[in-house]
Amino acid sequence: MPPFGVSSVSTLVVLLVLVGAVLGGWALGSLLARGRFRRLHESIIKSKRQLQAIFDGITDGLIIVDREFRIVAVNKAEAAFLGREPHELVGKPCYEVYCRGDAPCELCPAHETFATGRVALVSPLEHTTGYHRKGVDVYTFPVNDENGVTIQAIQYIKDVTDRLQLQQQLREVEQLTGIGQMAANVAHEIRNPLIAVGGFARQLHEEMDPDDPRREHTRVILEEVTRLEQILREQLTLERHLQPVLRPVDVNQIIKDVRKLVSHGILSSGVRLVGDLGEGLPVTMGDANQLKQAFLNIINNAIQSMPEGGTVTVKTQQLGQHILVTITDTGHGIPEEVMDKLFVPFFTTRKTGSGLGLAVTRRIIENHGGRIDIESGVGRGTSFIITLPIVRSTQQARQDDIHRGRGRPSTSDGRDAAGTEVDP
């Protein structure tokens, strides 16, 4: 091979410079590309975290399902309601989780969304887990691929329990208004003749000799007149909406007074009445007589629900700015089809009774600014949970939309220790 000439060397140098420039540019471009890729990756990760935070921060339920109705994603609120962690639900068929079935639920709005690619709604549905129940609206939104085919559906589960309860309360107000008008008419028609019958019967009863056998007849007449007067009072209380006369009251003392009233009546019933009264329970503003009537109605119902005997436990406690009174029995429980009718006036499952006791009870509690809830099930007894606000003055009562009452304060004799038991 002949030696390189000057021109050849120059050419080689130029080639080497060009190759170095190309290689250097490629390396520099590679570095720049890797930097852009890293920034893009970081941006994607940041966006994903932001979307996950929004997804989990929504307090209503969110789940994403594919066309096989398998859960692709679920937010923390819905997982918490179901008592599970989100990762435990991903991959499971939604109908197994919600309906415990082997096929998609017929009412699921995702059927319509997958078929039409449009937003769908089912309202309202009952959303149940364990002993917790709420009404929900379920919306489904389509997730489409690049061809416009719906491949997933986002289900938005909105809790509308408060709305449904308000609607139910409005229906009950309308019903009670009609019943109140009817009760007023009936009461006014009956009251005057009843007063006359009772007055003449008392006069005859007092004029008879103690040994006169007819006194037994007048005694029965007076007892029946008293019973009819009680029914009239119950009907008229619905008409007058049971406005409380507020005074300082000791809820524990009211429970003790009620316990004394029922203790003699359960001696032969096999029912055991147990008190679990919280110590240091604060005094609140209330109508002692009305609260006594409310507690007595519930305890009597509990006793009557256990004809074969059992235990009624009355527990009081302070929870924040509220007093909780829980009355629990060990009876057979309340069937689900009866639960929604318990507070309907004139509804009763017993052969005797006006069916007004629980309707009046709830009105009393609500007029004290409280609420009454029920936990029950066939075979596991029943608990009535009464929540009353701690109201320390009539001024506070006015602020809480409770009418101001007049009269001297109720007092407590404090003779019984809190938490004692009364056994038959």
The DSSP line for 187-203 is HHHHHHHHHHHHHHHHH
Do both 281 and 373 map to the same domain? yes
Q: Is 31 among the domain residues?
A: no
Do both 340 and 285 map to the same domain? yes
- Average pLDDT in the chain: 77
Question: Is the four-CA dihedral 144, 148, 150, 156 of positive or negative sign?
Answer: positive
Do both 145 and 212 map to the same domain? no
Q: Is 47 among the domain residues?
A: no
Q: Is 9 among the domain residues?
A: no
pLDDT at 384 over 90: yes
Q: Is 22 among the domain residues?
A: no
Where among 143, 159, 175 does a domain terminate? Answer: 159
User: In terms of pLDDT, which residue wins out, 258 or 325?
Assistant: 325
d(CA 109, CA 122): 6
d(CA 196, CA 198): 5
User: In terms of pLDDT, which residue wins out, 154 or 269?
Assistant: 154
Q: Is 110 among the domain residues?
A: yes
Do both 224 and 258 map to the same domain? no
Do both 253 and 368 map to the same domain? yes
pLDDT band at 164 (very low <50, low <70, confident <90, very high): confident
Q: How many CA atoms lie within 13 A of 196 on its CB side?
A: 4
Do both 261 and 399 map to the same domain? yes
Do both 134 and 280 map to the same domain? no
Residue 403, domain CATH = 3.30.565.10
Q: How many residues does the chain have?
A: 424
Do both 252 and 368 map to the same domain? yes
Do both 141 and 102 map to the same domain? yes
Burial 298-334 (b: 16+ CB within 10 A, else e): bbbbbbbbbeeebbbbbbbeeeeebbbbbbbbbbbbb
Residue 227, domain CATH = 1.10.287
Where among 133, 159, 185 does a domain terminate? Answer: 159
Do both 67 and 170 map to the same domain? no
d(CA 285, CA 209): 48
Do both 281 and 357 map to the same domain? yes
pLDDT band at 405 (very low <50, low <70, confident <90, very high): very low
DSSP 241: T
d(CA 421, CA 418): 9
pLDDT of residue 211: 87
pLDDT at 413 over 50: no
Domain tally for the chain? 3
**Contact partners, residue 356, CB within 8 Å, separation at least 6:** 234, 235, 238, 345, 346
Where among 193, 212, 240 does a domain terminate? Answer: 240
Least confident of 35-49, 112-126, 324-338, 339-353: 339-353
Residue 111, domain CATH = 3.30.450.20
Q: Is 46 among the domain residues?
A: no
Do both 274 and 384 map to the same domain? yes
Q: Is 13 among the domain residues?
A: no
Residue pair 288/254 in contact by the 8 Å Cβ criterion: yes
pLDDT at 369 over 50: yes
Q: Is 310 among the domain residues?
A: yes
Looking at residues 404-420, what average pLDDT do you find? 34
User: In terms of pLDDT, which residue wins out, 19 or 406?
Assistant: 19
pLDDT band at 70 (very low <50, low <70, confident <90, very high): very high
pLDDT of residue 424: 33
DSSP string over 306-355: -TT-EEEEEEEEEETTEEEEEEEE-SS---HHHHTTTTSTT--SSSSS-S
264: containing domain = 247-422
Burial class (CB in 10 A: 0-12, 13-18, 19+), 166: exposed
Q: Using one digit for the tens of pLDDT, what is the confidence trace for 21-55?
A: 555 555 555 656 666 777 777 777 877 777 777 87
